[in-house]
Amino acid sequence: MQKLALVKGAIKHYDWGGVSFIPSLLQVENPQMKPFAEYWMGVHPGANCVLTMDDGREILLREYISTSPGALLGASVNAAFGQMPYLLKVLDVKDMLSIQVHPSKSQAALDFEAENRKGVPLDAPHRNYRDANHKPELMVALSGFYLLHGFKPEAQLLQTLEAVPELHVFIPVFKQGGYKSLYKMAMEMAQEEVNALLQPLINRIIPLYLQEKLDPSAEDFWAARAAQTFIRPGSIDRGIFSIYFFNIVHLKTGEAIFQDAGVPHAYLEGYNVEIMASSDNVLRGGLTSKHIDTAELLKHTKCEATHPQIIPAGGNKKAKVYPAPVPDFELHSYELKTGDETVLQPVTAELFLLTEGEVELTSGDIRVVLKAGSIAAAAFPGAAVKVLAGAPSLLFRATVPL
């Protein structure tokens, strides 16, 4: 049983993706300038992740693990999950993503089964639940990165509502009914009223945006960009309200943030590495052409103040662990100089992702070199993996908490 192998993930060409960052990582041409939004590595049905074995054979990662799950996952992970419990991704966010929320594990199982009973096809555009799992996620910025993350604390949100004339209508609702009433009003408001409130705001801020007089730390910057990105005649996207309701977070390179079930969020711009539970359950609340189910969104949204907890960059530490309060995954990073060596002991089926430099991985008589074009490998418990940097390198390791 081979304990170390090269991995080739799945490219996702979503329309919000950039055209150069992921092709550069993978050393692939992109003459048609297609959007390369995400690169998936894992066993999720949407990730046809392929192992290249030492004899040249290729096999799907999920199929290889299924040949001997106890040995390749480790007894405890196999007992708890029955398969690799996480999904590892690289993202290039050129245009902002939808306002979204992910369900809890228990609620996802119930709602997935409910849609199954209704006979909703798994690939139906209006399907809300693609699987029975939760989707907590942690991201590490590979560049300056902007995102929306949870509702602003009360005083800050009130200050925003008071500063924007078009949002004054929400002030008494928020003061009397709190976050839930505020968000319910925004999500259930008639489209004609949404248009009437937001049109004068958009008319005011778009000229400033086009003249580059707005800063990305300001809500008006992203609201103007959203208005231009999601133009539909006679229908202004209500997701623009959320830009003013939520925290705008700016992560510097190497900083990270965790997003649990129920925390509303949206990625706005930048590159990142993301790890999450192996799920594709997304409930959307605007800034998208995809299906929006307001009732399901409100059911799962944590309508409460969020104080963003930014996980700092590693500083001078060569090895870093990013804390996440879930059993499904744990992400490590290693900043290595040329000639640096380290030895890792896989505790389950693990993924190694190289975003900078070149490293050689060896386990027994198996040797794998990761560099531009071949950026990922899988390792399995029972054999140490020696890492040798052939250049200044940044290596990520996806695993589970011990």
pLDDT tens by residue, 225-273: 999 999 788 899 999 999 999 999 999 999 999 999 999 999 999 999 9
- Mean pLDDT value across the chain: 95
Confidence of residue 315 (pLDDT cuts 50, 70, 90): low
The share of the chain scoring above pLDDT 70, in percent, equals 100
Across the range 86-103, mean pLDDT stands at 96
Does pLDDT of 147 surpass 70? yes
Q: Yes or no: is domain 319-399 CATH 2.60.120.10?
A: yes
- Residue 64 · residue 51 · CB < 8 Å: yes
Are both 10-147+251-294 and 319-399 of the same fold?
A: yes
Q: How confident is the model at residue 288 (pLDDT cuts 50, 70, 90)?
A: confident
Calculate the alpha carbon distances from 392 to 125, 218, 274, 387 in Å.
44, 36, 22, 13
The residue count of the chain comes to 402
pLDDT of residue 312: 93
Backbone torsions φ then ψ of 79, nearest 5 degrees: -65, -40
What would the CATH number be for the domain defined by 10-147+251-294?
A: 2.60.120.10
pLDDT value, residue 89: 98
- Residues labelled catalytic: 284
Q: What is the pLDDT of residues 331-376, one digit of tens each?
A: 999 999 999 999 999 999 999 999 999 999 999 999 999 999 999 9
Percent of the chain exceeding pLDDT 90 equals 92
* Residue 147 neighbours by CB under 8 Å, 6+ apart: 139, 248, 249, 251, 257, 265, 266, 267, 268
**Binding-site residue ranges:** 100, 102, 137, 265
Q: Which region among 13-22, 79-88, 121-130, 262-271 has the lowest average model confidence (pLDDT)? A: 121-130
pLDDT at 287: 87
Q: What is the pLDDT of residue 229?
A: 92
Q: Which residue ranges are tagged as binding site for Zn(2+)?
A: 100, 102, 137, 265
Mean pLDDT, range 286-315, rounded to an integer: 90
Alpha-carbon dihedral of residues 329, 333, 339, 345, nearest 10 degrees? -20
User: For position 317, what pLDDT does the model report?
Assistant: 76
pLDDT band at 316 (very low <50, low <70, confident <90, very high): low
Domain segments of the chain: what residues?
10-147+251-294, 156-244, 319-399
pLDDT in tens, 97-143: 999 999 999 999 999 999 999 999 998 999 999 999 999 999 999 99
Q: Report pLDDT digits (tens) over 170-225.
A: 999 999 999 999 999 999 999 999 999 999 999 999 999 999 999 999 999 999 99
pLDDT value for 91: 98
Question: Can you tell me the distance from the alpha carbon of 328 to that of 325, in angstroms, rounded to the nearest whole number?
Answer: 9
